[in-house]
Amino acid sequence: MASKSAIEARLSEACASLEIPGVVAIANTKGKFTRIYSTDPFKVTISTDGFDFAEAFGINSLKEGRARQPLELNSTFYLASATKLITAIAALQCVERGQFTLDEDATRLLPEFKDLNVLTGFDDTGKPVLVKATKTITLRYFDHSQ
């Protein structure tokens, strides 16, 4: 396991070389939970109370004309597509607990997915071409070659 000083050195180096612009690194071995604050679905602020390690490295932006400020522990970040990972983990935990399986029809839990249309392309005017789904939606990987 890397030491705290080795982790700090590597993150500082990565930010100084602009391998990454900045990072807020937090670690918890005390078994306490953190709080995530959000007033905007694409921005989150994480409370670092109760963490063993909490450090900010680097700057807040690489955009031209924008003032570059050092990151802070309470810096706010924009998140995009981050819910896929959280949803996948939650779904697999439910499978592990036996609450549903990878192969069962997902509409038992998500009835709004019943009778979905599938986008197959666009016509000459740019209008979407939709057809009724013919396969059951499940959590398992779907082989598109079939």
The yes-or-no answer on residue 3 being catalytic is no
Four-residue CA torsion sign, 96, 98, 102, 105 = negative
Residue 32 has pLDDT above 60, yes or no: no
Residue 99 has pLDDT above 90, yes or no: yes
Mean pLDDT value across the chain: 80
Four-residue CA torsion sign, 63, 82, 38, 73 = negative
Evaluate whether 52 touches 28 at the Cβ level (below 8 Å): yes
Ranking 26-30, 36-40, 76-80, 82-86 by mean pLDDT, the lowest is 36-40
- Top pLDDT among 99 and 42 is at 99
Locate the domains of the chain by residue range.
4-80, 84-132
Whether this prediction's pTM lies above 0.75 is answered by: no
Residue 122 has pLDDT above 80, yes or no: yes
Kindly name the residue from 3, 5, 17, 81 that is annotated as catalytic: 81
